Structure 1
């Protein structure tokens, strides 16, 4: 469980501080009675901290209230901490880009007023955001800067937590000896400051490190010391961590029954204090222990609980840990159909986690190819420039000769009877030079045309790749996995036949889509040619809903095609098919489970209007104008899936090629509607 991730588990402490003695109800009662701004500011700040582990949205609400009131009272230092807490709320909800925005805003504000504690906390938070973006180098860099600031102001708790954070980051990249050195520094700092919670936590982090260094004896000793102190100071979160660590050591030594005792204690504590993240880690440890004991029925409810928790919170990393356990449990109980269903969900999660990295690799590879082609063009242009230089020299020499001849003609005009012949010769040379200049101009125009054609081909190729990666990867991965199960003997021939029949429609629709896509791409590479025909919009919507049926069922969405009678449009059928599929696919991707998608179409005057409406989270007003250009290219769905705006740029291009228009209306929390106008027959 070291990469659950331990850095997230430990970095959380950096932001959340130490447990509050007052519970939420007490603070809310105090808030009702408070009349002064300073009292309300204090309570807002405590409520923001208290809601950290239980309700990230309420944390944001009270952090924002605290920031606004602090700004009104002119307390700039608390404005800084309000921005940091708002960023933490977004970080807890996996909105890492928004979190990074608030952390950066906090740092700028703190720097303006030279508030070093605020600067350090903001830098540590920025390090956390980079860790969530899997950029360990930037994470370490920012936390080191935070450490230096904490040392300047001699803030021991900040110094201690920076050591812990650095150790946890090196722990995650498996540099355990470096991690050990930072954890030892953290423990020493806590001991010097007589900070009992910090000491308990220091023993826990060192226990983790020794566990990874295969020194189980030292690991057990440190977990036990941490547990002893945590019990003494009655700190439930540290007790749960120490129990979990001791259980992991027992599991490594195959003492699974002893491990389960420790895990159950840790689970009970985490349920009581509502620490959802650590609770999921412990649930996975319990499920793994029961699997090792081959008691799959007992393992199942724990694995399903963490799976449902991750599904509810859209935490893809936890889903990627829980789904393999659920799959193994069902396979061992010979529930192959259920296992296959969860295997498909796992492929979708893995695809979402890897899509951004894959896209970057494709773009980088393509960039290298284009740069190579540009180098060749530069070389060709250099050769042409050299030829132009030679022509200029020739023209210059010719001009000098012409001048010399003219002088001779003036001197010997009367006696030179060959004047006419010489003039004719000069005229011929001028015509040749003019002809050479015309040829050069033509050659330059041809090069410009070739560059434009190359750029157009690159655009077409990029559009083609974006459609293929967007629509073909998931069904092909599912089919590949199914055959893999059959080849390993996990499925009988009868079971394979039954499952294939269930996938028949998806495979058929995918094949039809591939044929259409290849035909469209051929027309694009031969030159963009729109072939408008009359077609029924309802049929195209139904076909695309069937194609996306698997993703719709996984997210339990309600989708309705309200087009009852034929609505006939006059446009390129294949291109509009791609547009409809992209818009429905985007609605599916960004909707929450149990949301609705409604498709309708109607005739207005001389146009066909097709609208796709969803009840998803909506789009911020500031982002609406950027949807159809490449300025705003990456968004994140509620399940963490990365969305590249290339699809919407492609939709706009295709609709406009067909003398149509596309528009979007959306509000945060009220859903989104995309409408396209097309000519009618």
Structure 2
């Protein structure tokens, strides 16, 4: 809507200029003293309105025709009929247009007026082009071309070149069409015929749609738009806007395509041109369909269908009536000729009765033989047609079976693909479990075995026993932590594991996990502070969030120095809640940050030489992603780290199975 308003603002200046011309012509009409002056004033007003308001163009052309008929001014009749025919051509009423131009051509022939003859041939060529009778179109254009060259009428010759370009474009000979459009544009620019030049520029831009780089046609179309705005030719202007939209659609710029298509449709509805409304509606349908906005695509497809059916129904009925009338006239003339011939034949039969009888008998035999041949041919054709029908039905059945088999194969392929993906995931899960159990879990158990073997072989002092038990406790803690991580991770990977998303009070969850971690913190004199405001709510699976939070708290304690502080905070950001765990410990080296959450597990000793498994952060990332969350980190070596848990702020509570 905004783009349409902008277009109207741009046109406001040129419309004022047009109104001045129209006002001047209306004053001229009101002051005309003679019928011929009134006829020409009406013709000029019709010509001025032709590309801006077709209804008014028809009214003034009809008025001129009626005046010319009443006054016997045949040249005025011819001009008025050509203008009226052009108005019908613009609105898609081709039968009415053809009637007007044939009448104008007949008058021009009787008057031997070369200018009117040239115009009539040009207009008839345009009508035949519109109804796809290209041979007759070329025939009429050729007649107009010969007259234009004979009188050195460059204006008419430019129109002929342009229209021949249209014919070759319709035939699919796009390079030849472009050559004619360019010849037309060069002639029209030379003589300053801006109206025709704007049309040729439109055609040059339009034909680029059929080449490899359709965007090269945009400069010509924009120049055509500028000229049509200057000349107030709304009909060509809306067509150029539609072609601009078509090119933008072809190069994938659907936003610009939609903007110009809307402008074209708005102008078509304004001038009430059924043909232009149908073209613009079809373009809007194609653009919305490519954007997958199928409700709007259906709306404009319906508009296109209504307009097309209306135009086709009216045109078909009128053309059939016209053809029937012409046929009946020709049939009557033929019957009259037959009556005259029969009369002559009877006279000859009286004089040559015997000879005529013999010729009649021979003719009867010949006709009888011909009838037999025709009947036999008809029977053969009927048999052949029946076989063709049977073959067609057989091919249809074969096609249906092939389509069904293809659909079944596609369905089976999709099922196999899903099964392969599932097997791949299970195989990866198996390999990870074997890797952890065979390597990471075996290492602390081997250490425990070694310590126990050492204790068995020698007698130890109490101090050595305490030291041994300290080592055992540490190795068991590592093994238990790793086992817990492996079990939780394995559970998260299984199909039966479910996620229960609900509103979680982050302050309460933080308190619960601080309570579980406080004994470890007290051993190092680290202070745990819950800085999360009461009633700060996010949506998560509480069990998985507890594991992640507990894991991050234990990591923070592990890498904090004695007497340090770990603070938990939370803040809202748009549709998310960000929970931060900040410590002032060892921090992480920059080269280790990139692989922190990957399967390449990162582990190092804590500030008190605590060991870790390297599984916690990888598992935390997977668990958070399973509940629509994420994890991030900021760290500086020697100054500490901050881990951020990002959770949805508010979503509908749901239960889903994790695969």
Fold agreement, TM-score > 0.5: no
TM-score interval, normalised by the smaller of the two chains = 0.3 to 0.5
Larger-Rg structure: 2
